[in-house]
A and B are shown apart, each in its own frame.
Chain A
Amino acid sequence: MSNNNNRNKEKKEKKEKDISSTSTSTTTSKNDPNGERLGFDEPKSDLDAYRLENKHVHNVYNVISSHFDSTRYKAWPLVENYLNSITCGSIGVDVGCGNGKYLNVNKGNIYTIGSDICQSFSTICNEKGLEALSADGLYLPYQTDTFDYAISIAVIHHFSTFERRVEALKEIVRVLKPGGTFLVTAWAMSQKWKGKNYDSSDVMVPWLFQSKFKVEEEKKLKEKEEEEEISKSGTTYQQFHRYYHLFCDGEFESLFEKIQNVDILSNNLDHDNYYCIIKKK
């Protein structure tokens, strides 16, 4: 069946789902004593969802990217092992590659092309000599049935509706060759390892931004209303809120159920992240 057909069908189902999803996840708390969450309006349409993600994911990362980069240098062994198991001469994609810490794994043997919707991340990757371009995960600039493998690490939880999460996975599966595999991870709602607990699946997670990472351009940021200044042990921070949809047990299964041509190879929890490896039929 063609991609268009699938998409159109999804659209039809969408209205019904929109209603059900709002009724199950409206428990976003407005005032959290720990400052962990900030109330936000549930997206009512795809455009609203796009705008929420733009404001609370893309724009935030565009500002905090260099600070984020300085804190995210260790590769996660789960992802490293997966990439090291890929055959020499394979080409793959890293969708939502962030600062590109996985683009270099198994370098010389496999070729991973990164993409991120945040242009400041593709710039960071480029400065490190890594191959990355700016692209929306829902609209990948690749042909169907092209890549041997794909990864998308801690990205899918930034899509704010069920339909958009399905579409994002579908888009990656589309560019994968039949027989190709794909590793996807997302934050879990229960974070025992980190000792955190979230009681709602849709949350705003703060990022304390150290002003020293500010560059001229970022100072001009329009979204001033979201910033709060906080002082902690002598350093001034700006607080930004990033949107997350935290995953529950069985959630990857229900997403992949909507995609016909995949088999789930493994599905588990590792360090407060759900991960799933699938194979395209």
Chain B
Amino acid sequence: MACTKKQCVGRGFPLKLEANEIAQLSQPFNYEFVKNIFPKLDWNGIQLVAKQLNVVLPEQGSVEDEEFVKTLFNLLCNLKVINGSLTCPSCNRVYPIEVGIPNMLLKEEEIYQDIQRMADKEKEAQEEESDEEEDSDEEMEE
């Protein structure tokens, strides 16, 4: 998961997970699912989450290793954070997790302050552009 704030797109990831209460689910194991999903995973993000949930993962995994596949499946599908929080590494916004549901909603003030801020930035950028050409790309870059 990533930060919802527009200025954090491309930066607000991965959110830092803090888990106070974890539930163990019991979804039926599916090898095909893990095999196909494995190459798509953000391995650094997974390692961070695993550490938070006290799951031991090897540095490198292989879908041929049955033990590893089971551990990964358990991490992906059977561990649910009931209470905790997610913190953006870029803006430090804290998103609470309560009764198993991450609340990623922004408040009205947050949304419209951000829109205002971006409009101001755009204005500044335009002014700069008229002074010296091709120099204001930095803040737009993601």
Residues of chain A having any CB pair with chain B under 8 Å: 2-5, 7-8, 11, 46-47, 50-51, 54, 87-91, 108-109, 111, 115, 117, 119, 122-123, 126, 129, 132-136, 139-144, 148, 174
Least CB distance, B12 to chain A, in whole angstroms: 9
Please state if B4 and A136 are interface contacts (CB–CB under 8 Å). Answer: yes
Residues of chain B having any CB pair with chain A under 8 Å: 1-6, 9-10, 13, 15, 25, 27-28, 30, 32-37, 40, 77, 95, 99-106, 108, 111-112, 115, 118-119, 122, 139-142
Please state if B2 and A141 are interface contacts (CB–CB under 8 Å). Answer: yes
Task: Compute how far the CA of A11 lies from the CA of B122 in the bound complex, rounded to whole angstroms.
Answer: 10
Q: Given A46-B115, A134-B103, A136-B4, are A3 and B122 also a contact pair (CB < 8 Å)? A: no
Least CB distance, B101 to chain A, in whole angstroms: 5
Least CB distance, A215 to chain B, in whole angstroms: 15
Please state if A123 and B36 are interface contacts (CB–CB under 8 Å). Answer: no
Point out the residues of chain A lying under 8 angstroms from B15, CB to CB: 141
Q: Which residue of A lies closest to B10 (CB)?
A: A144
Q: Which residue of A lies closest to B9 (CB)?
A: A3
Please state if A109 and B30 are interface contacts (CB–CB under 8 Å). Answer: yes
Q: A47-B108, A133-B102 are in contact. List 20 more A-B contacts (CB 8 A).
A: A2-B142, A3-B10, A4-B140, A4-B142, A7-B118, A8-B119, A11-B119, A50-B111, A88-B36, A89-B37, A108-B33, A109-B33, A111-B37, A129-B25, A132-B101, A136-B111, A141-B2, A143-B2, A144-B9, A174-B9
Q: Given A7-B6, A136-B4, A136-B106, are A88 and B111 also a contact pair (CB < 8 Å)? A: no
Task: Compute how far the CA of A50 lies from the CA of B106 in the bound complex, rounded to whole angstroms.
Answer: 12
Of A3, A119, A136, A148, the contact of B101 (CB 8 Å cutoff): A119
Please state if B104 and A135 are interface contacts (CB–CB under 8 Å). Answer: yes
Q: Is the interface of A mostly helix, strand, loop or mixed?
A: mixed
Of A5, A122, A133, A144, the contact of B140 (CB 8 Å cutoff): A5
Please state if A141 and B102 are interface contacts (CB–CB under 8 Å). Answer: yes
Least CB distance, A169 to chain B, in whole angstroms: 16
Task: Compute how far the CA of A162 lies from the CA of B112 in the bound complex, rounded to whole angstroms.
Answer: 18
Count: A-B pairs, CB below 8 Å: 109
Point out the residues of chain B lying under 8 angstroms from A5, CB to CB: 140
Least CB distance, B75 to chain A, in whole angstroms: 13
Least CB distance, A128 to chain B, in whole angstroms: 12
Task: Compute how far the CA of A134 lies from the CA of B98 in the bound complex, rounded to whole angstroms.
Answer: 11
Please state if A89 and B1 are interface contacts (CB–CB under 8 Å). Answer: no
Point out the residues of chain B lying under 8 angstroms from A7, CB to CB: 6, 118
Task: Compute how far the CA of A4 lies from the CA of B11 in the bound complex, rounded to whole angstroms.
Answer: 13
Point out the residues of chain A lying under 8 angstroms from B33, CB to CB: 88-89, 108-109, 111
Please state if A115 and B99 are interface contacts (CB–CB under 8 Å). Answer: no
Please state if A142 and B99 are interface contacts (CB–CB under 8 Å). Answer: no
Q: Which residue of A lies closest to B45 (CB)?
A: A143
Q: Given A89-B33, A108-B33, A111-B37, are A3 and B6 also a contact pair (CB < 8 Å)? A: yes
Point out the residues of chain A lying under 8 angstroms from B108, CB to CB: 47, 50-51, 54
